[in-house]
Amino acid sequence: MYDYLIIGGGIIGLNVARELKTRFKDASIVLIEKESEVAMHSSGRNSGVLHAGFYYSADSLKAKFTKEGNASMHRFCKEHNLRINECAKVVVAQNSEEVEGLEELKRRGDANGVELSWLSEDELNEKFPLIKTHKKALFSPTTATIDPREVTLEFKKVVQNLGVEVLTSTAYIKRNYEYEIETSRGAMRFKKLINCAGLYADEIAKDFGFGDKYVIIPFKGIYLKDKHNVCGLETNVYPVPNLANPFLGVHYTYAVEDDSKIGPTAIPAFWRENYKGFDNFNLSEMIQILYYEAKLFLTNAFGFRNLAISEVKKYSKSYLLNLAKGLTKPLDMSGFDSWSTPGIRAQLLDTTTLELVQDFVVEGDGVSIHVLNAVSPAFTSSIPFSQWVVDNYVEKKAS
C-alpha cells in the first residue's frame, strides 16, 4: 500500500508529488501515467509562455498563483540550467474600445501586484519597431518562454531523485474499493489518491463521487510556425482578449528555440485526444462531447456559436495570418509555413449553467483529491498551486 498515489504525469501531478515528498520524506509515493513518458499531453504541448498574472480578477486562484508561479518557474529553470527566453510581452489595442480593455488589464495587474508599464505609440515604435498599437500598449517585462516538455521532464527527474516511484505505461482503469484502484499493471492500494489526470480528471473524479456537475470539453490548439523567425519579432505580441471566455485570442509567441508562432486556435474537438484525424477515436466520448457542444451551440452560451464558427476558420492559414497582421506593421510572413503539433485544452464545463469554468477547481475528501480544472496558466502556476493543493486537501484533511 502506498501512502499517496498520484494519477497523471503532467506538470501538476509531478509538482504535487514533489511537494508531498518534500514535506513527508518517509512517505511512499507513486505517480502513474498511462503514456510511455510524462508530458505527452497538455504539459508538453502548450505554448511555453510563463504568464505574468494580469489577466485574472484579484479574487481568483489564478491571480493568487500566477505571479508567484512565474517567479518560481524562473528560479527552477535557472537552478536546473534549463532554457528560458526573457522576451517579455506587449498587449496592443486596435481601436479606442480596446484601449479600455487594456486599462482593465492594467487595473487587474495592479491589484495582483504584477509589474506592468504603459508604452505610448512612440515608445512602442522605439522599443519594438515592428509592432503597432492604437494610442498605447501594455508592457509586461516578466513574461517569458520556456520549453514545456523540457521543463516537465526535469520535474520528473527531480521527483525520482527524491524517491517518488514514477510508473509510465500504467493506466487507471477503475476504482475497485475505497482505497484500491485497478490499473493496467494490476490493483494498487493507497491511503490517499490525488487525481491530476487532465483530460480525464472528471471521469476519474466521478468514480469517487466528485465532479458530478462538470464535464471536460476539449479544445484543439494549433500554432502556425516560423521556424527561423523570418518575421523578425523579438517579443510576445497579444491582442486585448475577450475576458468573457478563457481564450486569449490569436497572438505572436517568441519561443525559446528562437522561432515565432502565430496562434493558437481554440477549435472545439470531438473527443478528448482528437489531435489529428481519427487518432485515439472514442465513440462514447464523441457522443458525450457532441451533446454538450450542441447545447452550447444552440443556446450560444458565452458566445460559443460565434466562437466555434470563427475558430474553425482558423484552419485556413491565410485567415490566421490576417488576424495576426492587425497586431503589427507589415512583416515578412513567408516563414510561417508549417503547423505545430496540436495540443488539447482540457476545459471544464459546468453542465448546470453551461459556462466554461475559468478558475482552477479542486474537490476532495479524506480518501481522494481531484484537480478538475487546471487550464492555462496552470503550467506557470504549477509550483504554488500544488503547494496550495497539499496545504488545503492533504494537511488540513489530515488534521
Kindly report, residue by residue over 205-257, the tens digit of the pLDDT: 999 999 999 999 999 999 999 999 999 999 999 999 987 777 888 999 999 99
The verdict on 233 and 333 lying in the same domain is: yes
Residue 228 forms part of a structural domain: yes
The verdict on 369 and 382 lying in the same domain is: yes
Residues 6+ apart with CB under 8 A from 275: 220, 341, 342, 344
Identify the burial level of 241 via C-beta atoms within 10 angstroms of its C-beta, where 0-12 means exposed, 13-18 middle and 19 or more buried. middle
pLDDT at 302: 84
Give the whole-angstrom CA distance, residue 351 versus residue 360: 16
pLDDT at 357: 95
**For the whole prediction, is pTM greater than 0.85?**
yes
Residue 378 forms part of a structural domain: yes
The verdict on 43 and 173 lying in the same domain is: yes
pLDDT at 229: 96
The verdict on 161 and 235 lying in the same domain is: no
The verdict on 204 and 292 lying in the same domain is: no
Range of the domain at 261: 214-351
C-alpha cell at 129: 519597431
The verdict on 252 and 338 lying in the same domain is: yes
| Beta bridge pairs of residue 349 | 215, 356
The verdict on 322 and 369 lying in the same domain is: no
Q: Is the dihedral of CA 363, 369, 374, 377 positive or negative?
A: positive
Residue 203 forms part of a structural domain: yes
The verdict on 329 and 392 lying in the same domain is: no
The verdict on 316 and 378 lying in the same domain is: no
Overall number of domains in the chain: 2
Residue 66 forms part of a structural domain: no
Residue 133 forms part of a structural domain: no
What digits encode the pLDDT tens for the residues 151-168?
999 999 999 999 999 999
- Domain final residue pick, 351, 367, 383: 351
What is the CATH number for 389?
3.50.50.60
- Domain final residue pick, 330, 351, 372: 351
The verdict on 175 and 37 lying in the same domain is: yes
pLDDT at 247: 83
The verdict on 344 and 395 lying in the same domain is: no
Residues 6+ apart with CB under 8 A from 40: 9, 33
pLDDT at 398: 63
Which residues of the chain fall short of a pLDDT of 70? 397-399
Residues 6+ apart with CB under 8 A from 169: 33, 34, 35, 36, 184
